[in-house]
Structure 1
């Protein structure tokens, strides 16, 4: 019998993200359930501070007119499921309309999951003050929640 790992992501999963997820338990039968929020609920001011702290704003402002591009949630979810599928993993998913952490908690309970993973870009403000999604979910669930930074093998401090 397989177990489910619930994954909350703010953007489409990348190949590196899928590789990190499938490497978590190579010896066990694991399915993934991806939760992608329709809105991240992030403040524009906090987003600006994050961009400045990562030295991304000037390039992004020139290239994209200052507005970060986020694909439609349904498209982002399908891209994430396709990326996981290419690894041979079984994956389902949902676009969540409620707050991201609430959606993760509901999915963990619905799938009787014993593990959750949050995949985000680094967020200087939330990560520093431990108000990131992984920390909030861990506090609510009482389960370990792994926080990975998208596109890398770096682990957030939650």
Structure 2
């Protein structure tokens, strides 16, 4: 029997419920299923820009302007790496608790779809599953990871919304958008 390799590209740590849903997709397959997990490293620069952008104009005028030179980029980058490593570890624990066999797992620094395509090719993956939060605008314009992956890799790609059951996703009662 050959392994049925599945590559998971996740945007954030999977909950035990997310892991159980992923595992349930492959129940009943004759071949053993092995999951390979990719988690993109949180972008430290984007995190700093987002936090600076959340300051209101009044706060910026009331205090001296904060510049990027005032920010310890190495400390922020280290924090992002530690957070990503922790999220990946928790995801692997959730998958293992759901009965999944884990192959490889890594925090990736390459563009997520490039890393996904490379991993699918490396392990001769049979399918890819992308788990994200809802991204309405990106999905509408087909700029989301799933649309990009479907154009780039030659295996079936399934997009699941993290923290939503299959029923919520199918029925449109969860946070995901249907009918857009």
**TM, length-normalised to structure 1:** 0.76
Q: Does the CA-based 8 Å contact 1:15-1:151 persist in structure 2?
A: no
Deviations 1:42-81 (A, max 9, x none): x78xx9xxxxxxxxxxxxxxxxxxxxxx771111110110
* Gap regions ≥5 residues in structure 1: 48-69
Structure 1 runs (4+) deviating above 4 angstroms are none
User: Which residue in the other structure is 1:21 paired with?
Assistant: 22
Q: Does 1:83 align with 2:84?
A: no
Aligned pairs, number: 135
Distance between the aligned counterparts of 2:159 and 2:113, measured in 1?
13
Distance between the aligned counterparts of 1:129 and 1:81, measured in 2?
32
Richer in helix (by share): 2
Query: Over alpha carbons, which structure has the higher Rg?
Result: 2
User: Which residue in the other structure is 1:38 paired with?
Assistant: 41
- 1:25-104 equivalences in 2 (<5 Å): 25-28=26-29, 29-39=32-42, 72-91=83-102, 92-104=104-116
Aligned CA-pair RMSD: 2.6
Q: Does the CA-based 8 Å contact 1:38-1:96 persist in structure 2?
A: yes
Distance between the aligned counterparts of 1:84 and 1:127, measured in 2?
27
**TM, length-normalised to structure 2:** 0.67
Q: Does the CA-based 8 Å contact 1:10-1:40 persist in structure 2?
A: no
